[in-house]
Amino acid sequence: MVSSQKRIVILVSGNGSNAQAIIDACAKKAINGSVVKLISNVQSAHALTIAAKSNIPSTCIDHKTFQDRDSFDMSLAQAIDAAQPDIIVLAGFMRILSHAFVAKYLGKLLNIHPSLLPKYTGLGTHQRAIDNEDSEHGTSVHFVTPELDGGPVVLQAKVPVFEDDTADDLALRVLVQEHKIYPLVVNWLCNERIALSNKKAFFDGQELPECGYASD
């Protein structure tokens, strides 16, 4: 057990329900850490209101005000470093990050992606699962590596897909699971139970299978 609390920075672009779940889990001591800063790349993101309500320092770094991706990423890294985090959590963050950015924080960066990776990397995952008539869908927490949604999976949760589901129905069902599994995995990283090594995820020193912990 790691006794000292880890410092967590959350990156968001939108609603912030996953950020809220992580903030709540820290407050309940279900996560051995505290959220020291929330950064949004979108000024109107509801997640900024969530941070304000929880007295968490927040800032907006609007990617549209930068000439290129590298200068946005450099400014983002400055804002992150000022908070001296141990862990950086992408929670509905919608900008692809450069290789240099990912390399700087390798092993400290987690993302939650709304599909059963390696299925459906990228965007529009719920509609793609419906269009393909999948009977199940879900979400994956993974370490972020330079390859988009390609980093090793730590934990997944599955949901059924029903015949008359819209993408919004499915997104809501997936979110319920995300709010359960993301705080759990963030706590594992805070307690140094999971680690990234050689592009693989490890749990208590054991390499995890492709679909993460507790997968069959």
Q: Identify the active-site residue in 46, 99, 113, 126.
A: 113
Cα 139 to the center of its chain, rounded Å: 11
Q: State the nearest-atom distance from the C-beta of 16 to ligand GAR, in Å.
A: 5
Partner that binds at residue 149, options ligand GAR, ligand NHR, none, CB closer than 5 to 8 Å by kind: ligand NHR
Q: Minimum distance between the CB of residue 94 and ligand GAR, rounded to whole angstroms?
A: 5
Residue 46: active-site member: no
Touching ligand GAR, residues 134-153 (CB under 6 A): 139
Question: Binding ligand NHR by CB under 6 A: which of 29, 68, 122, 214?
Answer: 122
The footprint of ligand NHR on residues 77-116 (CB under 6 A) is 90, 93-97, 102, 111, 113
C-alpha 131, offset from chain centre: 25
User: What DSSP string runs through 148-199?
Assistant: TT-SPEEEEEEEE--TT--HHHHHHHHHHHHHHHHHHHHHHHHTT-EEEETT
> For residues 12 and 92, is the Cβ–Cβ distance under 8 A?
yes
183: contact with ligand GAR by CB under 6 A: no
Residue 124 neighbours by CB under 8 Å, 6+ apart: 167
